[in-house]
Copies of this chain bind each other. A is one copy, B any other.
Amino acid sequence: LRCGFPEVVFAQGKAPDQILAITNRLAEHSRQVLVTRLDAEVYEQIRAELPADMVYHARARVAALNRDADRLKHPGVLVLTAGTADIPVAEEAALTAELMGHAVERVFDVGVSGLHRLLNRMEALRRARVIVVVAGMEGALASVVGGLVSAPVIAVPTSVGYGASFNGLAALLAMLNSCAKGVAVVNIDNGFGAGTLAAMINAQRFEEK
């Protein structure tokens, strides 16, 4: 495919030998392979038989193989989180975009209840050409960021929270109702989807018109 999607394996719900078989088959012909939602224990079980150049990122629960890792990356993608508990989802997004050839800037723990932390990072916000906002609980960060910048914002609600967060529903609804311009939403905890879309958007500037 022209736009350089990696091959992707969604490990959740698959048996270790299935994950191994699919990954190794894909690794034969692809320059980029991504395994998402891969728990550390499962990874430990199969790591010896995975391609030697595959790297495991524990926090994001992602294993990534990138045979073009030394290629120059496209700048422009920024990944934000409201809290620290949102970081695993944010890392999934960032690693996905990196595998697709983009340089990703990370700014974590800048939730709206401490606005100064966000406002201190206006440089990064203005520099970005596409922003992934990862937030659970009330999901307000997407609206605030959307109002501060004119770049597209991809909002990822997370299941971080309890009670009336209803496993991410509160953040999801908040983000869908954002009164800021230029905000769209992906599934709860879907860092991979946000990273892919951010990469697709950012890539366009680097294509011939």
**Do B85 and A160 touch (CB < 8 A)?**
no
**Do A163 and B140 touch (CB < 8 A)?**
no
- Interface members, chain A 116-172 (any B CB < 8 Å): 129, 137-140, 142-144, 146-148, 150-152, 154, 157, 159-172
Interface residues of A, count at CB 8 A? 75
Please give the count of copies of this chain that the complex contains.
Answer: 8
Flag whether A90 is at the interface (Cβ < 8 A): no
Task: Using CB atoms and an 8 Å cutoff, list the residues of chain A in contact with chain B.
Answer: 1-3, 5, 12-14, 82-85, 111-115, 129, 137-140, 142-144, 146-148, 150-152, 154, 157, 159-190, 193-194, 196-197, 200-201, 204-207, 209
A-B pairs with lowest CB-CB distance, top 9: A163-B188, A140-B140, A184-B184, A113-B147, A170-B173, A113-B180, A138-B174, A137-B177, A138-B177
